[in-house]
Structure 1
């Protein structure tokens, strides 16, 4: 299922945060949003999973305007992992993940065998099967993150919208989560602060700056030193990753971007 964002304008807390954004997330691909803090990434994602209403423009899911869908219809198409993780659920890990089945249940309906199998698979995929009986409140930040990701998997939607999903995760679990997203092959729209992670996992990147999309394309076409200097204010060289061949960004931690010219790339 493809996502099209067309001329999107979103106001939040009395100011325009997203202004005229256009982007696509193709079916089965991982599409990344990158940009400095305050560039509009989270606001745009909140609009895609209907937490915010646009002031203008529209979001299309497989050609259907999001505003034409009911909340339940949307929840059967889009699962979200927002930055705001919600309250401290007084529930077990398994009960939290089972909440992902809510869009498919009638009021007061209990679980069936299919639900239990889906929840078990989601817990296993997120590496949390051994914690299914633990209280959510007893978990570390990284463990909670994986439980909420499992809840999104249990929702069994065609689209995943993830806002900084690697936050609170150690390096091993970051790598495992990103590999898991690639294995899912669902249409995924994800914001990431780590540009090297974005270059590794994403099929396409959209760079946001001051509420607009200033660059789009495959990571190796987008992540150029001149753009990194202009948008992020850093000096960097872009080289080939010795293990994967992906673009690898080497940041200069000694000199700000405005003290040097473009240092170029080390690969074609």
Structure 2
């Protein structure tokens, strides 16, 4: 599914086209997303200007004059800015039509995405209120991870993928960060020292920043806002490379299930 770098890439792609533009209407072809699009959403957003765009975790936030639109891409969703007259494809469920003749079109083949309107501050919304700090902002570092790990015994990979702890460290980037930090993904999180957590926090920041700079990771459904693929897949060291030689030591990369997710690691370089 799209992870933080893919969502950030989408945000950077659509923001210049939407910021300051007035919404003409919302056209909903299919309301049955992860949560049904409420029937009054069209009325609520019509005629408002899009003041600013942002992101919280994997949620895109469109700040309007009297509230905020929350968008989540789900498992396979994507957003495009197109001319409104272009006919929709089969899974194009929603158009946010703009006064300049363009539209923000949401495609979601599996319908696990979210499109919701809230008049309240988005930080108070039930979907966002519980989220941990952003990994690329102040408040997230190795000391924070070390403190939160005290009294817990889950695998460190499960630990850093907990959105209540830190948002946006999905499966791909957790695997890559742990490899770069030299930490075994199954190691209990409370058996990792402060200095190693400082290294891990730095690697998480580095991996996510690199992925954003390269437009995200192409896996199955994700493409950039302009329709092209992300290129971070070329930089993956361990994810999806079971049986291939470790880029550091040459030992075969191993794969195992941790927390119901596929984990990839080097048995020699990670401990």
**TM-score for both structures, normalised by structure 1:** 0.30
Q: What TM-score do you get using the length of structure 2 for normalisation? A: 0.29
Give the structure with the larger strand fraction: 1
| Structure with the higher fraction of residues in helix conformation | 1
Q: Higher relative contact order by CA 8 Å / sep ≥ 6: 1 or 2?
A: 1
